[in-house]
A and B are shown apart, each in its own frame.
Chain A
Amino acid sequence: MVPPKIKVLLIFMPFMAVAFHLNAQDDLDSLLTKELGVKTEEVYATFKTTRIVNGHSVERVREGDLDFRIAHRFGTVKGGAYEFFGIDQSTSQFGLEYGVKDFLMLGISRATWQKTTSGLIKLSLLRQKTGEKSFPVSMSYISSVFVNGMKWSDESRDNYFTSRLSYLHQIAVARKFNSSLSFQVTPTLIHRNLAQGSEPNDIYAAGVGGRYKITVRSAIVGEYFYTFRKEIPEEYTDCFSLGFDIETGSHVFQIMLTNSQGITENNFIVYPAGKWKKGDLFIGFNICRFFTLKSEKKSLE
């Protein structure tokens, strides 16, 4: 009835089906991997906030987020227990910083030193990326204008409003090496329209900063600004700061030890008066509170 050739084929058919089947079973893993592919992704949270310690980090406030910042620098810790290690004397800065666009952040603030009011613009120009089209670093441009609000010390001379102004220009280039370690270099130019005595109008500085995460929510941060200080009184030194970041949901606390009481760049980069060797240091903290004013639209494709 059934020719032998076909018989053989019939006998083998179930085996063929099983073989095919087995083959198909094995491949789900590789199919998942294949379909997941390698996507280009932006590296997030190189630093916890927009400042490393005193100076700017490469980070910006996200679009639609408002960052209310309170910063305090106390008196020198040399004051000892009588001055409560400087905490009896406080200088402060209050600021509001808003993410207008994903790449653009604007800010205003007011600081005790020289009754300074300042405006800030920060542009996120390049972002570190991983995956198919990876990119090694993030880069931001930071520019501030500081308005000295003190009464003129010499009322008799011609005092122009422009003499109250100084400017900050910084390029922050940072890389998040892994989930714990981030590093940044920050070439800096500060221009003062009116410089004291024989001091130059332009001050150049090179900043380096880093972060090392101890736990997912806390990190040690450090920052150093080398200032090219021709003709600046020798009592001033370079700014070096160490800090500790603690994140609690929508707050970030940064507590620090620094040799500068100034909070604005035209002070702490130019005039840090304390010496680390002599223990002439200042305790300070930054508190950031984030408010989401505009929520992200869920991508309902």
Chain B
Amino acid sequence: MRLTVILIIGLINLSLYAQDKLYTNTGYISFISETPLLNIEGVNQKVISFFKPGTGEIAFALRMTDFSFELPLAREHFNENYVESQKFPNAVFKGKLSGIEAINYKQAGTYPVIVTGEMTIHGQTVKINEKAIISIDEGGNVSGFSVFILKPEDFGIKVPRLVRDKVAEQIPVTVKVDYIPYADGK
């Protein structure tokens, strides 16, 4: 009898691992370049992300051309002059969350975590170590949130002197993702 219980628990455990891949393809990432002369805000709402609560692994990918801007010209300049989307169409992040042991997925709450990993934009990879928040709502849905600063020059994105006063050197980036369980083979 006891044996059967152990077996069942073991199998459940197995199946949990199999399903424990959370996913979104409507993740939100925005950035804003603020200068006294000009504010430029780009919003991408088609961010793809995977998160595995079991291991803390987390990954993001987005298309640079999916960023929308208030000024149509800003979008063209962003893609053509700064991130060079034709050469480097995607941005990718792969990393791990630490501090996830504290998360209780069955109870609503917010948990501070640390994200570490590698971010690739404009063909250049930079190590990232930032704070983030994982929140669980009443329905057990998992969300992620983070705000951090990126410097275009770290990614080899040059801002010429001519437009130096219109493009910020430090760009705050906001990430919001609402995860759903990932169904394989869909």
Per-residue contact bits, chain B 15-59, to A (CB 8 Å; 1 contact, 0 not): 001100101011000000000000000010100101010110101
Q: Residues of A contacting B162 with CB < 8 Å?
A: 248-249
How far apart are the CA atoms of A14 and B98 in the complex, in Å? 23
Nearest-neighbor residue (CB-CB) of B72 within chain A: A62
A299 and B50 contacting across the interface, CB-CB below 8 Å:
no
A20-B18, A28-B59, A249-B163 are contacts. A45–B76 as well, Cβ < 8 Å? Answer: yes
Q: Residues of B contacting A2 with CB < 8 Å?
A: 3
B92 and A32 contacting across the interface, CB-CB below 8 Å:
yes
Q: How far is the CB of A24 from chain B (nearest CB, A)?
A: 7
Pick from A32, A216, A295: contact of B48, CB under 8 Å: A32
Within 8 A of A (CB), among B165-180: 166
A13-B10, A24-B52, A28-B50 are contacts. A35–B25 as well, Cβ < 8 Å? Answer: yes
Pick from A63, A179, A301: contact of B84, CB under 8 Å: A179
A32-B59, A179-B86, A296-B71 are contacts. A45–B18 as well, Cβ < 8 Å? Answer: no
Answer yes or no: A217 CB below 8 A from chain B CBs: yes
Per-residue contact bits, chain A 1-29, to B (CB 8 Å; 1 contact, 0 not): 01000100110010011001100110011
Q: How far is the CB of B134 from chain A (nearest CB, A)?
A: 17
Q: Which of A36-44, A87-95, A134-142, A269-277 contacts B (4 or more CB under 8 A)?
A: A36-44
B59 and A44 contacting across the interface, CB-CB below 8 Å:
no
Within 8 A of B (CB), among A284-301: 290, 292, 295-296, 298-301
Q: Size range of the interface on B? A: 35 or more
A249 and B166 contacting across the interface, CB-CB below 8 Å:
yes
Pick from A10, A178, A292: contact of B73, CB under 8 Å: A292
**A binding-site residues for B, Cβ under 8 Å:** 2, 6, 9-10, 13, 16-17, 20-21, 24-25, 28-29, 31-33, 35-36, 39, 41, 43-45, 62-65, 178-179, 216-217, 247-250, 290, 292, 295-296, 298-301
Q: List 28 A-B contacts (CB under 8 A).
A: A6-B3, A9-B7, A10-B7, A17-B10, A17-B13, A21-B55, A24-B21, A25-B52, A28-B94, A29-B59, A31-B59, A32-B50, A32-B60, A32-B92, A35-B61, A36-B90, A44-B79, A44-B80, A45-B76, A62-B73, A62-B76, A179-B80, A179-B84, A216-B81, A249-B166, A296-B69, A296-B71, A298-B70
